[in-house]
């Protein structure tokens, strides 16, 4: 009972933190959208021509519901895709998983270009820093304005981007509850590399030694913290295109960027999911959230402390020394499907032996 209470408390604290961050983002974005040289209403009234049309009614601003109606198609398409993601994830269906990956590339990547980015991490951290700067005595207005401006540029206007915000909330909530579901099924670039991995013959793929893989997995954290440091030093975000290839689906880039992404995709043929496993700063950020807040981790059998079959099955390097690393796991289903396989998983074989021995004991009824 105590463990259950701790679980709900942990979930509540994580959800509260996320809610506060989102509220902070929306508030600063709204304030940053106003032009800096905007004049007070009284000055605008004085400057207006002296015409008086008292009988005319001012046109009311569109309500949020009206904005939602205008964006109904986008919202409906995203909800359909989110439903497909959750059905394929909860049913542990390999076929549905690959259908989801195809739709992620087509819909999330090419059609809408909906992807989270390290720029959104800058926005969260910039908003928190801005709030602290405003609250402290002697806070520097220029620094606060610079951070708020960068934050505003990293998020679309709320009322005109309801589907995008539904997507962002979906990504954050699923990460808090299950872990990096976003990386394993929603991200269009991750879906593309998984599809490449599925069609490339296994003989072309290089198996990275476990020790090297463990060390290489820290590269993405170095990229993440280096990018954050550069952002706070320069207050620029344009460099993100050189550490994230998500722009690929917009087909808009310089020759240098095209060469870089070409090399990355060719390398992904030989090292499966190369970018997601070792280089993605957003994956590193979501991994840190997963490690701290995952409410429903993968269930394991008691025999998992001895058997290494799932460790050999995992293609993401997320199981090391028989322990699942929440920061690296993308909930790809491979180990969970194995756990349910009564012909392969040693747990079920041992369970069958225990039942057989119990049935053969004297005095035991069938």
Residues in contact with 204: Cβ distance below 8 Å, sequence separation at least 6, in sequence order = 269, 270
- pLDDT tens-digit readout, 217-239: 999 999 999 999 999 999 888 89
Confidence of residue 11 (pLDDT cuts 50, 70, 90): low
d(CA 176, CA 193): 24
pLDDT surpasses 80 at 208: yes
Q: What pLDDT, on a 0 to 100 scale, did the predictor assign at position 135?
A: 40
Q: What pLDDT, on a 0 to 100 scale, did the predictor assign at position 364?
A: 57
Which is more confident, 113 or 13? 113
To which residue do tokens 């701290």 refer? 292
Confidence of residue 287 (pLDDT cuts 50, 70, 90): very high
Residues in contact with 200: Cβ distance below 8 Å, sequence separation at least 6, in sequence order = 269, 272
Mean pLDDT of 343-350: 85
Residue of 307, 317, 299 whose CA lies nearest to 349: 307
Residues in contact with 31: Cβ distance below 8 Å, sequence separation at least 6, in sequence order = 148
Let me know how long the chain is.
366
Cα dist from 344 to 299, 304, 310, whole Å: 17, 13, 10
pLDDT surpasses 50 at 126: yes
Mean pLDDT of 322-351: 87
Least confident of 170-179, 246-255, 276-285, 307-316: 307-316
Cα dist from 282 to 13, 15, 204, whole Å: 22, 20, 28
Confidence of residue 36 (pLDDT cuts 50, 70, 90): very low
Q: What pLDDT, on a 0 to 100 scale, did the predictor assign at position 190?
A: 95
Q: What pLDDT, on a 0 to 100 scale, did the predictor assign at position 147?
A: 43
Contact 162, 68 (CB under 8 A): yes
Q: What pLDDT, on a 0 to 100 scale, did the predictor assign at position 186?
A: 95
How much is the mean pLDDT over the chain?
79
pLDDT surpasses 80 at 51: no
Query: Is the model's pTM score more than 0.85?
Result: no
- pLDDT tens-digit readout, 146-182: 444 444 445 678 888 899 999 999 999 999 999 999 9
> ∠43-45-50 over CA atoms, to 5°?
130
pLDDT surpasses 70 at 20: no
């Amino acid at each position: 009972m105590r463990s259950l209470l701790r679980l709900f408390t942990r979930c509540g604290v994580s959800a509260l933190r996320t809610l506060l961050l989102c509220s902070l983002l929306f508030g600063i974005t709204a304030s940053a959208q106003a032009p800096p040289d905007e004049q007070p209403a009284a000055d605008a009234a004085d400057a207006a021509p002296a015409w008086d049309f008292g009988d005319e009614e001012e046109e009311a601003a569109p309500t949020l519901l009206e904005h939602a109606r205008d964006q109904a198609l986008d919202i409906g398409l995203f909800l359909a895709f989110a439903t497909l993601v959750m059905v394929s994830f909860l049913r542990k269906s390999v076929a549905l998983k690959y259908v989801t990956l195809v739709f992620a590339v087509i819909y999330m990547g090419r059609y809408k270009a909906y992807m989270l980015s390290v720029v959104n991490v800058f926005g969260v951290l910039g908003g928190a820093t801005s709030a602290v700067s405003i609250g402290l005595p002697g806070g520097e207005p220029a620094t606060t304005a610079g951070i708020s401006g960068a934050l505003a540029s990293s998020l679309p206007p709320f009322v005109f981007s309801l589907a995008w915000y539904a997507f962002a909330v979906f990504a954050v909530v699923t990460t808090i509850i299950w872990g990096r579901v976003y990386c394993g099924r929603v991200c269009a670039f991750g879906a593309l590399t998984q599809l490449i991995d599925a069609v490339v013959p296994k003989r072309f793929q290089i198996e990275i030694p476990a020790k090297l893989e463990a060390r290489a997995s820290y590269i993405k954290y170095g990229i993440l913290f280096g990018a954050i440091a550069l952002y706070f030093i320069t207050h620029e975000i344009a460099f993100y295109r050189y550490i994230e290839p998500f722009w690929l689906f917009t087909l808009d880039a310089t020759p240098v960027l095209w060469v870089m992404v070409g090399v990355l995709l060719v390398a992904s043929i030989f090292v499966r999911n190369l970018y997601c496993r070792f280089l993605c700063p957003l994956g590193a950020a979501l991994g840190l959230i997963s490690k701290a807040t995952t409410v429903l981790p993968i269930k394991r059998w008691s025999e998992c402390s001895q058997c290494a079959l799932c460790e050999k099955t995992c293609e993401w390097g997320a199981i090391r020394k028989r322990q699942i690393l929440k920061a690296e796991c993308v909930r790809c289903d491979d180990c969970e499907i194995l756990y349910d396989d009564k012909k392969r998983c040693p747990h079920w074989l041992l369970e069958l032996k225990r039942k057989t021995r119990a049935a053969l004991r004297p005095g035991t009824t069938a």
